[in-house]
Chains A and B, each alone.
Chain A
């Protein structure tokens, strides 16, 4: 019986290999014949590949599933991409800018003490069921976000509570802050500031409507949810009576394609128009660019790849050891060979180009001799074992880890790499069960508060994403001071000082600041990458030509 199974397996294997190879062959022919024949014979093929079939249907692929559609309850980027389209916010980030623009709020005012904000809503905005968007909806949405106590509550915590809202009329609302919060308006432009139709009350149940909104929408955005086949495909339909004008793309299909190479083939064949920016490794992106009607758009990004060193674990509690490790990372080679130039060096968690960036903070160089010296001073001449955790299906992180492993071996440190599935990875690092962990961070709003608070404040340890479990009283105090200050010069100085302290104490190694690289068909026009909201794809104004 087993023998028969073997032959079945061999036959299946041969079949699969055959199919894969034949697929390759076909692809090779398609891409090489035009060059040989000067494109003469292949004109039929070529026009097929260069003209989009349906100009108002957009096909987008991602390899990560969409878990949940609650605008206040999810922290998954793949969900953000959808909720940005289903809901409007008071303010928004649009195009490539990190400055806020009006969306539902036409304008806003702030009192000189920085504690009372008045928002004036536009009058033509309507929810998908036809009811107008009023200030009641604003109060309802923000109160709900706080009651839910999920990801969105973080931006309101300690700053507003359910008594902070004062409705002046249907289109004017005052929000009284408990204490000044510099980036308040900026924070309302993130997904967490989404405005929900107060009719949600009918579906609230016992969980503030979370289970209802997980797979339904009650927004006012340019798109409505048409169908959602979990793990397969989510379809958005244009809201033609949108106050900002009818969206250009009438249908947006968001397809879940787990295997990046499949997505690549589909893109090249024209079955897809654009891919999620995180799913293809730089090596492959370089190969795709400029061929088969595909282009790779590169643009500055605020994503920072970081290596957190859990300071509660020996020997990482020793500053000299952490500094030694920071000197053992071959930054230039990672940028050149792993990220293929799609990144630059950065000395802290505040990205270059953002307010408060400290260009004078120590930038560690790759120097194994210095690293060895530091280990000697720390009393670890003989070296030690370390473990790094990375999440699976991420070639870049795996290659960075492998490179670090070979460099650390030269200074006597044996690095073990552990690859974990994403949920297990999150569980491990947020509970501090790791020694080293490779991760990345992109801010939701352009203010150093967002990055530094979550990386350095002691209250953010673990789930807040302070994965180094960094605890420094001075840093805490500076961050708290800067958070409530309305004086930009003071905030700037505070943030720069925090970065200088962190660079010296090295709870994290900052590997690189990435450029965003998006693979799309050349026929896709009007796509702009926002350096922080990389998952904000403006389907409503993109076209296919």
Chain B
């Protein structure tokens, strides 16, 4: 199976990018060359050099070190949002799909309501109402993310709930929840988990976007979106201050998506 995953060069690239991100996040204190929060005005807006390979920002902080530490924030947000919204979404989807009827109607209309707003706009309003902080962004994104999983899981539950092995469990007198969690969920969760791996990238992008418009990470946090935002005014004098955080976001999102695509090809050939 591993060989099948890496037979595609794109998947391999995705895997490498994600691995680099994980590595940076895990060993940030060892990799970073400076304290990411240390202000040094006499050294501000220095172009990339051997001392500061990505240059310094508008208050003299080392951009490379900030990006390295920023990977922790992005990864944390990405993982937590998926970890919160995935179980909620799958659970609701499975219940809706298996029981049908009124329960299904209620749950699905609820997801429709959430999906009818553009996700980022809804997240923006939630984050704005809760006040700007990275924790609130996390919460806001989790709130808007679960309906996707609900839909995916519901449709795959619907497709197998009348399969013969389910019928046999039912005939043996198994409790509906036992059937749902022991038989149905394990067999219908694959598409949703692929979606989750793809989503890590999107969540990181959305969180960076919210931080960019000032709703997310607060100074001096080295969040990538916030770094982009504070350096956009000086883009023409100090291209490095906005370029490197931008590239970090680009490669992270790309990495998770290539990896997710590869996983889908392997785990769920039907969806191709």
Residue numbers of A with Cβ under 8 A of B are 2-3, 6, 9-10, 13, 17, 20, 24, 27, 260-261, 281, 283-284, 287, 333, 336-338, 392-393, 395, 398-399, 401-403, 405-406, 416-421
Contacts and interface: CB of A to CB of B under 8 A. Distances in A.
A417 B235 contact: no
Nearest to A428: B131
Contact of B41 (A13, A261, A403): A403
**Looking at A6, A9, A395, which has the most chain B CB atoms within 10 Å of its CB?**
A6
A399 B237 CA distance: 18
Contact of A281 (B201, B205, B214, B233): B233
A403 B39 contact: yes
Contacts of B254: 10
Contact of A287 (B198, B237, B239): B237
A114 B173 CA distance: 99
Interface in B130-150: 131-133, 148
A337 B234 contact: no
A399 B39 CA distance: 10
Contacts of A6: 198, 201-202, 253, 257
B42 interface: yes
Contacts of B201: 6
A393 to B, nearest CB: 8
B218 A284 contact: no
6 contacts: A261-B235, A283-B45, A337-B44, A402-B39, A417-B219, A418-B132
A337 B237 CA distance: 16
A67 B235 CA distance: 30
Given A17-B246, A406-B37, A418-B132, 5 more contacts: A395-B233, A402-B219, A403-B41, A418-B218, A419-B214
Contact of B235 (A20, A405, A419): A20
A325 B234 CA distance: 31
A337 B57 CA distance: 13
B220 interface: yes
Contact of B218 (A281, A337, A417): A417
B218 A416 contact: yes
Contact of B220 (A284, A337, A395, A417): A417
Contacts of A417: 218-220
A281 B214 CA distance: 18
B256 to A, nearest CB: 10
Contacts of B133: 418
A324 B143 CA distance: 43
Given A333-B41, A338-B41, A403-B39, A419 B219 contact: yes
A284 B44 contact: no
Interface in B103-151: 128, 131-133, 148
A288 to B, nearest CB: 10
Contacts of A17: 246
Contacts of A24: 235-236, 239
B58 interface: yes
A2 B220 contact: no
B233 to A, nearest CB: 5
A2 B128 CA distance: 26
A6 B264 CA distance: 15
B233 A261 contact: yes
Contacts of B174: none
Nearest to B261: A3
B214 A392 contact: yes
B250 interface: yes
Contacts of B257: 3, 6
A432 to B, nearest CB: 17
A13 B202 CA distance: 14
Contacts of A402: 39, 59, 219-220
Top 3 A-B residue pairs of the complex, sorted by shortest distance between their CB atoms: A337-B41, A406-B39, A392-B214
A287 B232 CA distance: 15
B42 to A, nearest CB: 7
A2 B39 contact: no
Contacts of A260: 233
Contact of A27 (B132, B202, B236, B250): B236
B38 interface: yes
B153 to A, nearest CB: 15
B66 to A, nearest CB: 12
Contacts of B237: 283-284, 287
A20 B198 CA distance: 28
Contacts of A392: 214
Contacts of B39: 402-403, 405-406
Contacts of B44: 337
A284 B234 contact: yes
Contacts of A416: 218
Given A13-B250, A401-B219, A402-B219, A2 B233 contact: no
Contacts of A393: 214
Contact of A395 (B41, B45, B230, B239): B230
B195 interface: yes
A395 B45 CA distance: 14
Given A13-B250, A399-B58, A419-B132, A261 B42 contact: no
Contacts of B205: 9
A270 B73 CA distance: 42
Given A337-B44, A406-B37, A2 B234 contact: no
B214 A398 contact: no
Nearest to A418: B218
A10 B261 CA distance: 15
B111 to A, nearest CB: 15
A10 B131 CA distance: 30
B135 to A, nearest CB: 12
A284 B133 CA distance: 28
B59 A403 contact: yes
Contacts of A261: 232-233, 235-236
A209 to B, nearest CB: 34
Nearest to A10: B254
Nearest to A5: B202
Contacts of A10: 254
A336 B60 CA distance: 14
B121 to A, nearest CB: 15
A403 B38 CA distance: 9
A260 B235 CA distance: 12
A509 B73 CA distance: 33
Contacts of A401: 219
A197 B41 CA distance: 54
A201 B6 CA distance: 80
Interface string B19-57: 000000000000000000111011011000000000000
B219 A337 contact: no
Contacts of B239: 24
**Looking at B42, B44, B58, B205, which has the most chain A CB atoms within 10 Å of its CB?**
B58
Contact of B195 (A2, A20, A398, A419): A2
A284 B234 CA distance: 7
B20 to A, nearest CB: 19
A392 B216 CA distance: 12
Interface string B56-72: 00110000000000000
